Amino acid sequence: MVSIKDISIRCGVSVATVSKALNDHNDISEATKNNIRKVAKEMGYYPNSFARALKTNRTYNIGVLFVDEAQSGLTHEYFANVLDSFKVEAESHGYDITFINKHMGLKKMSYYEHSKYRGVDGVVIACINFSDPDVLELINSDLPVVTIDHVFDNRTAIVSDNVKGVKDLITYIHKMGHRKIAYIHGADSSVTQNRVGSFYKTLNELGIDIPDEYVKSGIYHDADNTYVVTKELLELKDRPTCIIFPDDFSCIGGINAIKEYGLSIPDDVSVVGYDGVLLSQVLNPKLTTLKQDTRLLGKMAAEKLIALIENPKANIIEKVVIEGSLLSGESVKDIN
pLDDT tier at 148, thresholds 50, 70, 90: very high
pLDDT tens digits, one per residue of 299-325: 999 999 999 999 988 889 999 999 999
Q: What is the 3-state secondary structure (H, E, C) of 281-319?
A: HCCCCCCEEEECCHHHHHHHHHHHHHHHHHCHHHCCCCE
For the chain, give the percent of residues with pLDDT over 90.
70
Give the fold, CATH level 3, of 162-292.
Rossmann fold (3.40.50)
pLDDT at 103: 72
Instruction: Tell me whether domains 61-160+295-322 and 162-292 share a fold.
Output: yes
Question: Count of CB atoms within 10 A of residue 118's CB?
Answer: 15
Among residues 101, 62, 103, which one has the least CA distance to residue 83?
A: 62
Kindly state the average pLDDT of the residues 29-58. 77
pLDDT at 164: 97
pLDDT tier at 45, thresholds 50, 70, 90: confident
- Domain definitions of the chain by residue range: 4-47, 61-160+295-322, 162-292
pLDDT tens digits, one per residue of 184-208: 999 888 899 999 999 999 999 999 9
Among residues 45, 48, 37, which one has the least CA distance to residue 6?
A: 45
Mean of pLDDT over the chain: 91
- pLDDT surpassing 60 at residue 50: no
Strand partners, 322: 160
Kindly state the average pLDDT of the residues 30-43. 90
Q: How far apart are CA 330 and CA 334, in angstroms?
A: 10
Three-state DSSP class for residue 236: coil
pLDDT tens digits, one per residue of 226-275: 999 999 999 999 999 999 999 999 999 999 999 999 999 999 999 999 99
pTM more than 0.85: no
Three-state DSSP class for residue 37: helix
The conformation of residue 148, written as its DSSP 8-state character, comes to E
Three-state DSSP class for residue 183: strand
pLDDT at 68: 67
pLDDT at 53: 56
Kindly state the average pLDDT of the residues 95-109. 83
Query: What superfamily does domain 61-160+295-322 belong to in CATH?
Result: Response regulator (3.40.50.2300)
Contact criterion met (CB below 8 Å) for 150 and 156: no
